[in-house]
Chains A and B, each alone.
Chain A
Amino acid sequence: MTATTTNPAFGPGRRKPFVMRNPSVLVFLACLAIFTVGVTILSEGFGIGVISTSFIKTLGKTLCLCLIAVAMDVVWGYTGILSLGHFAFFGLGGYAIGMWLMYERTRLIVAESMSNAALPPTPEEISSGIATQIFGVVGASEFPPIWAFAHSLPLQLLAVVLVPGLLALVFGWLAFRSRVTGVYLSILTQAMTLALSLYLFQNDSGLRGNNGLSGLQNLPGVTASQDIVSMWFLWASAFALGAGYLLCAWVVSGKFGSVIRGIRDDEARVRFLGYSVEGYKLFVFTFTAVIAGIAGALYYPQAGIINPAEIAPIASIYLAVWVAIGGRGRLYGAVIGAAFVSLVSTYFTGGQAPSINLGFYTINWVDWWLILLGLTFVLVTLFFPKGIGGLFDLITDRRSPDRHGADLGPDQGALREKEAEE
């Protein structure tokens, strides 16, 4: 070992600013900015029209998926909580914004149609008209109590943050306080998602049952075409992803990051250092749930429709697959995984991929895509545990023990792989 007794990095003095200590954050933000500008130039709404509006929407949605993947990486890759329920928070964020979008748009339509009547309509008549329009499909004509704030954009925006946040806080408090960990916690989060999804499927849930909320792509009072609106949402999604990435990168760096990675690797040890593990887990779980909610609130107006199937447990499992394929424990890995897998998925399931005729059998990608994805997941887990993001280690020479703490000798603390190689 060449000895340098005083490493300047650990001595006194001013520390470099956060982004300088984490150059990958700057690189990511630059890539995101270039992507956004590039798409704007190629768009139909603001540029030369190479990229169709429907693909702009796909890209905007993908950015939202990247944002929730970043949140998933913080909760799973960094803290070690394999939550299979974060798409529930995503969906709740979507429902919260969807309620306002649907209410307001219906209100404008109802008000316009009633304005032709001889007598000006009373507020009660308008309200009843909106309710009939929205809830006729589930056989109701009155607003359920949870729509009490649907008329107000600020309140529904608050709900985008508060509803997922509170659900995560209560659920997390109950689960972490009882020290439910590992696969049991995963099952519990999945049960939460399933319960929520089943509840929302009911017609009397107040959110239109399996019809969900629709027409969300139309912004009330905005006459601009979808070419323009889709770009607005793409910008907003890119901004949210950039801000969310920056915030998450800040959270996982420094001492807080040390503690949560410590929790992931050896929870008991962190406890004996005097840290309240439950408090940290609850913080991370709730924080990422809020990010998921915001991502959902940006996603569904681009998708145009939200229904309870979106919250089904499979969505949250996909989320874990994206993060695993992209590379756990590195935020850009989550982004790469989410973007890559969801775009490839769109390609294969959208019917664009040509079927392969083998003579005796035709491989239809819409059917085979899931098998391909599952196979990829298994292969990545077995052979490339660092995922796609791990490729960057080859460039940056990031050092990390590959042996997963395995001991080579007969007892714990014996000779390890690394020592044997040297």
Chain B
Amino acid sequence: MNAAAATAAAPRNDRLLEVSGVSVSFDGFKAINNLSFSIGKAELRAVIGPNGAGKTTFMDIVTGKTRPDEGKVIWGDRSVSLLRMNEAKIAQAGVGRKFQRPTVFEDQSVFDNLLMALRNGRSAWTVLFYKPSDEDRARVVALAEEIGLETQLARKSGELSHGQKQWLEIGMLLAQEPQLLLVDEPAAGMTPAEREHTTDILKEAAKTRAVVVVEHDMEFVRRLDCKVTVLHEGSVLAEGSLDHVTKNEQVIEVYLGR
């Protein structure tokens, strides 16, 4: 409880997401064990940890894919609980998620992919009668320029290269205009140049919103140059700057393996 209180030093109204005392187990295996975590409104945070530390499960809980056995997940200014909402409602509330492997709708054009992600009405009835306005189309083109796909709008996204798909998915996330972006291993399978570009995009995005990056590539995390949370066996092992946590004896033992 003391540890949680210490990390909660930031003023309450600056907090966007607060996860407290969350536990979840699968068939007796405790994937998340009394995890507490909070993030501010415009903050970049890296979450690292060895395989099986609960990084992805943590994201699943925040996005509503997995229900925790106990604990609280409080969101936004009005302090609503995310645990009572389904995935779609949570996404509408402003949580965007990027999966590890690029998941775009391959059978559809880049334009359609982005248009679908734009922050507009989500109900079936609204969507049925939706006509893209000039603004929406301009927004899609602007997003495509931002992610370097402005010449690919008419192509089926299945024809794009791996890197381009990653960009497209990031573009779709930006189109959603989320307040919190959860990004799972964005640098996986990328060339060094692409990694640098990814770092820039994430840093830029974190100026106006909260960004949580799950990563286990230390080099990439160092480039992000942000506060780091180390997970181990489903709970927070250490938190602070990368230099701070890498000096931590326990972290060295469990993560760096030295």
Contact = CB atoms under 8 A, between A and B. Distances in A.
A272 B141 contact: no
Contacts of B191: none
B63 interface: yes
A265 B116 contact: no
Contacts of B103: 266, 269
B65 to A, nearest CB: 8
Contacts of B134: 12-13
Contacts of B63: 272
A395 interface: no
B116 A259 contact: yes
A357 interface: no
Nearest to B104: A269
B154 A7 contact: yes
B91 interface: yes
Interface string B89-120: 10110001101011101111001100111000
B116 A10 contact: no
A412 B189 CA distance: 10
Interface residues of A, number: 46
Interface string A385-408: 000000000000001110001000
Interface string B145-176: 00000111110101101100100000010001
A20 interface: no
How large, as a class, is the contact surface on chain B? 35 or more
B150 A5 contact: yes
Nearest to B98: A272
A10 B108 CA distance: 15
Nearest to A419: B161
A3 B144 CA distance: 13
B123 interface: yes
B106 A265 contact: yes
A150 interface: no
B138 interface: yes
B106 A255 contact: no
Interface string B201-213: 0000000000000
Nearest to A266: B103
B9 interface: no
Contacts of A340: none
Given A10-B140, A412-B101, A275 B122 contact: yes
B154 A255 contact: no
Interface in B44-63: 63
A10 B141 contact: yes
B3 interface: no
Contact of B156 (A3, A276, A401, A413): A401
B222 interface: no
Given A255-B130, A266-B103, A413-B188, A275 B88 contact: yes
Contacts of A13: 134
Given A256-B124, A262-B116, A413-B188, A274 B106 contact: no
A276 B158 contact: no
A10 B137 contact: yes
B176 A273 contact: yes
Contact of A254 (B130, B141, B161, B176): B130
Contacts of A269: 99, 103, 105
Contacts of A283: 124
A401 B106 contact: yes
Given A10-B137, A259-B116, A262-B116, A271 B159 contact: no
Shortest 9 CB-CB distances between A and B: which pairs?
A274-B91, A12-B134, A401-B158, A271-B87, A274-B92, A412-B101, A3-B151, A276-B88, A283-B124
13 contacts: A11-B137, A251-B128, A255-B116, A255-B127, A256-B124, A273-B172, A274-B89, A276-B124, A280-B124, A400-B156, A401-B159, A405-B106, A413-B188
Given A255-B112, A271-B87, A280-B124, 15 more contacts: A10-B137, A254-B130, A255-B115, A255-B116, A256-B130, A258-B112, A258-B116, A265-B105, A272-B63, A272-B87, A272-B96, A273-B91, A274-B89, A279-B124, A419-B161
Interface of A: 1, 3-7, 9-13, 15, 251, 254-256, 258-259, 261-262, 265-266, 268-269, 271-277, 279-280, 283, 399-401, 405, 411-416, 418-419
